[in-house]
Amino acid sequence: MNQIVLIGFMGAGKTTVGNLLAEKMGCPQYDFDQLIVDKIGMSIAEYFDQYGDAAFRDIETAVLAEVDTLEGVLSTGGGIVLKDKNRTLLKKMPYVVYLKADLSELIQRVTHDEENVRPLADSKTPAEIEAIYRPRVPLYEESARIIIETTGKTPEEIVTEILKQVGE
């Protein structure tokens, strides 16, 4: 297999697992948030602040269309499944993996991540984060071919499971 796309909520480990997976597979990793930052020339938090959610989603769609045939591991942003157009593209990709985790663990990770400021989760209560999470779950599920339960597992264990599922 020459491309694996990781999807899932903020804090699901898409970047960390993606890094390790790419290392194990000996292929490049493309991190959507980084590709977007390179494109917009500012942080995602600043961009949300200046241009809002809808403009960010359009850039996310443009990046997905640009990378959809690239070989390697693609670590997407948590909101990639929000647009119909993106879900249609994802469904055509052979190895889309949903990294699923318990909401409590996601909240814990997102609210304790000082390196990565996420405008949608920053200064939000657990109930507010849950309100973003719930409607997204069916969208992740319908977009993925493979679902990996990650709660309580190390990145190494998750990578081993992904490789097993994709038959490597």
| Residues making contact with ligand S3P (CB under 6 A) | 10, 14, 33, 44, 77-79, 118-120
Give the shortest CB-120-to-ligand S3P separation in angstroms.
Answer: 5
Amino acid identity, residue 44?
I
Give the shortest CB-104-to-ligand S3P separation in angstroms.
Answer: 17
Taking the C-alpha atoms of residue 165 and residue 156, their distance in angstroms, rounded to an integer, is 14
Residue 29, phi then psi, degrees to nearest 5: -115, 135
Give the shortest CB-77-to-ligand S3P separation in angstroms.
Answer: 3
C-beta of 11 vs 159, nearer to ligand S3P? 11
Cβ-based neighbours of 153, under 8 Å, separated by 6 or more: 161
C-beta of 100 vs 118, nearer to ligand S3P? 118
C-beta of 101 vs 167, nearer to ligand S3P? 101
Give the shortest CB-163-to-ligand S3P separation in angstroms.
Answer: 22
C-beta of 8 vs 159, nearer to ligand S3P? 8
Give the shortest CB-83-to-ligand S3P separation in angstroms.
Answer: 11
Question: What tokens does 10 get?
Answer: 């903020």
Question: What tokens does 20 get?
Answer: 């390790």
E strands, 88-149, are 96-100, 146-149
Return contacts of 48-53, CB within 8 angstroms, 24+ apart. 48/119, 48/120, 49/119
Question: What tokens does 21 get?
Answer: 């997976």
C-beta of 54 vs 152, nearer to ligand S3P? 54
